[in-house]
Amino acid sequence: MTETFASSAVRDGGAAADDVVAHPAWTTLKQAVEAIRPAQSADGSIDFSADGAPTRAATRDLIDRVVHAVGALSPLLPHDADYHRALAADLRRWADDGFGVPDFLDSLLAFRPAAHRADGRRHLVVFPMYTQNGNPDRNLEAVVLRVVWPDWLADLERTRYDNPMFLGITFEDFTAGYDTDSAVLFPETIAVREAPERFTWGGIFCDREAARFRRVAGAARDVTGLRLPEDAEGLLTDQRRAQETFVLWDMIHDRTHSHGDLPFDPFMIKQRQPFWMYGLEELRCDLTAFHEAGLLAAEGRPQGRDVQYAVLLDRIFRFPVTGARVRNYDGLGGQLLFAYLHRHDALRWTDNRLRIDWDRAREVTARLREEIETLYRLGIDRPKLVHWFKAYELVSTYLAPHPGSAWAKGSDALDLTLPPRKLVDAVLPDEFPLSLFYEALAKKLRGVVASTRGITAGTPEAQAA
Query: Can you give the pLDDT at residue 3?
Result: 59
Query: Can you give the pLDDT at residue 464?
Result: 53
In contact, 282 and 363? CB cutoff 8 Å: no
CA 6/CA 79 separation, integer angstroms: 8
Residue 7 has pLDDT above 80, yes or no: no
pLDDT-derived band at 15 (thresholds 50, 70, 90) equals very low
Residue 269 has pLDDT above 60, yes or no: no
Q: List the single range of 9-13, 15-19, 169-173, 287-291 with lowest mean pLDDT.
A: 9-13
pTM for the model: 0.93
Query: Can you give the pLDDT at residue 458?
Result: 79
pLDDT tens sequence across 424-461:
999 999 999 999 999 999 999 999 999 999 999 877 55
DSSP characters over 225-280: TPPPPHHHHHHHH-HHHHHHHHHHHHHHHHHHTT-SS--S-TT-TT----HHHHHH
pLDDT tens sequence across 338-361:
999 999 999 999 999 999 999 999
pLDDT tens sequence across 383-425:
999 999 999 999 999 999 999 999 999 999 999 999 998 999 9
**Arithmetic mean of pLDDT, 376-383:** 95
pLDDT tens sequence across 131-157:
999 999 999 999 999 999 999 999 999
pLDDT tens sequence across 183-241:
999 999 999 999 999 999 999 999 999 999 999 999 999 999 999 999 999 999 999 99
pLDDT-derived band at 1 (thresholds 50, 70, 90) equals very low
Query: Can you give the pLDDT at residue 50?
Result: 87
DSSP 387: H
**What's 425-446 look like in SS3?**
HHCCCCCCCCCHHHHHHHHHHH
Residue 108 has pLDDT above 70, yes or no: yes
Residue 368 has pLDDT above 80, yes or no: yes
Residues β-bridged to residue 204: 168, 184
The angle, 0 to 180 degrees and rounded to 10, between the axes of the packed helices 358-379 and 384-398 is 160
CA 168/CA 337 separation, integer angstroms: 26
Neighbouring residues of 184: CB distance < 8 A, sequence distance ≥ 6: 131, 132, 133, 202, 203, 204, 205
Residue 274 has pLDDT above 50, yes or no: yes
pLDDT tens sequence across 218-228:
999 999 999 99
Query: Can you give the pLDDT at residue 10?
Result: 35
Mean pLDDT, the chain, whole residue set:
93
pLDDT tens sequence across 45-88:
999 998 888 999 999 999 999 999 999 999 999 999 999 999 99
**Arithmetic mean of pLDDT, 310-314:** 98
Residue 373 has pLDDT above 50, yes or no: yes
pLDDT-derived band at 337 (thresholds 50, 70, 90) equals very high
Query: Can you give the pLDDT at residue 13?
Result: 38
pLDDT-derived band at 243 (thresholds 50, 70, 90) equals very high
Dihedral pair phi/psi, residue 124, rounded to 5° = -105, 120
54-59's contacts with Cβ under 8 Å and 24+ in sequence apart are: 56/98, 56/99, 59/95, 59/99
Query: Can you give the pLDDT at residue 19?
Result: 84
CA 207/CA 59 separation, integer angstroms: 34
In contact, 454 and 345? CB cutoff 8 Å: no
